[in-house]
Amino acid sequence: MSRKAPLRIRRDQLELVCPAGTPASLHTAVDAGANAVYCGFQNATNARNFPGLNFTLPELASAVGYAHERGCKVLLALNTFPPAGQMDLWRKAVDDGARLGVDAFILADIGVAAYAADRHPQIRRHLSVQAGASSAEAIRFYCQELGVRRVVLPRILTVQEIADIRAETDCELEAFIFGNIGMMAEGRCSLSNYASGCSTNMHGVCSPAAAVHYRQETDGSLSSCLGPNVIDRFGCDETAGYPTICKGRYRVAGREDPYYTFEEPVSLNLASLMPQMVEAGVCAFKIEGRQRSRAYIRAVVSAFDEVLSAYCNGQPLPDIDLLALTEGQRETQGAFRSRKWR
């Protein structure tokens, strides 16, 4: 926790990229120290397409003005994959974002990226984590063929692997540092689609609210369900979580008790690894949480702004306590620390 930053690294050379699920959250993130905020429209073009989230056209226009007046960038998440024959919605989103003055598009689909490059070459293109580009070869393809300037790295890489990528490509590297981890294979999750008919990758929604319900059992426990599927069952002393398939507990042949078959509820927290990540070549640090509250945004953004500032000033990293804001009140360094996570 006492490593010092190389003299060549200044705070303004590192970007803290923060979530904005609503206009109010965007204001909170900007005021808390975000260098960039990412947000999406109220449709399937972004991977957090939930009721009550995201921006209308007038709201995004106002948000861009608010952020730019305070020196903060706005990145538009267009990070889903258009179903066949439905490309018009994504083309319109690209055109609308350009007209409203966003600073970059966060793109997953090759066709959408090609359209953005052709129609609005002056606007930066960032490759979404949903594209799953985890090698220097893949990243170079996107940079050379589609003019991508930055890639958001999948959360399956170790810090050393990030350094190896940095040595083989000139593309800017962005990495997640806090929040939900998911299935660790971005852009390839079909569990929600199997259970509900909607997927994160094509419809922008995992566990759609219309399919979620809770059922009180005769023994006093509470079942959380997605459509006809029971995702988890909580005892009287447990807090019921939102039914996300990859975080559910199931009965599996050979195991007597239900357990977290895919992944346990736990959040990523890389505060103590940030010096190594900077030295590995990461220039932008991303916080997950467009579905989270303004209090979450304020606390997490402020904490990591403090960490980055301390590092760049050659000071010991502050101890930050964000455990209460994590899933299941547990945190991990995931694959970034060790291959064993995979």
CATH 3.20.20.70 domain range(s) in the chain: 11-181+266-341
CA-based radius of gyration for the chain: 20
Q: How many alpha carbons lie under 13 Å from residue 163 in its C-beta half-sphere?
A: 11
Check residue 186 and give its pLDDT: 61
Cβ neighbours, 10 Å, residue 35: 21
Q: For 204-293, where are the alpha helices, taking DSSP H only?
A: 274-280
Distance of CA 25 to the CA centre of its chain: 15
**Residue of 101, 99, 20, 104 whose CA lies nearest to 68:** 101
AA identity, residue 282: V
Segment 30-55, tens digit of pLDDT: 999 999 999 999 999 999 998 999 99
Q: Which residue(s) pair with 213 in the sheet?
A: 225
pLDDT in tens, 208-267: 888 899 999 999 999 999 888 898 999 988 888 788 888 889 888 888 888 888 888 889
Per-residue pLDDT of the chain (342 residues; tens, 9 = 90+): 445 444 468 999 999 999 999 999 999 999 999 999 999 999 999 999 989 999 999 999 999 999 999 999 999 999 999 999 999 999 999 999 999 999 999 999 999 999 999 999 999 999 999 999 999 999 999 999 999 999 999 988 999 999 999 999 999 999 999 998 865 566 566 777 777 887 777 677 778 888 899 999 999 999 999 888 898 999 988 888 788 888 889 888 888 888 888 888 889 999 999 999 999 999 999 999 999 999 999 999 999 999 999 999 999 999 999 999 998 888 999 888 766 655
Cα–Cα distance for residue pair 126/310, rounded to 1 Å: 27
- Which residues 6+ apart lie within 8 Å of 186 measured at CB? 128, 129, 130, 131, 132, 154, 155
Residue 7: the pLDDT is 47
11-181+266-341 CATH choice from 3.30.420.480, 3.20.20.70, 3.20.20.140, 3.40.50.720: 3.20.20.70
In angstroms, the CA 190 to CA 308 distance is 36
Q: CA-to-CA distance for 19 and 95, rounded, in angstroms?
A: 22
| pLDDT at site 193 | 76
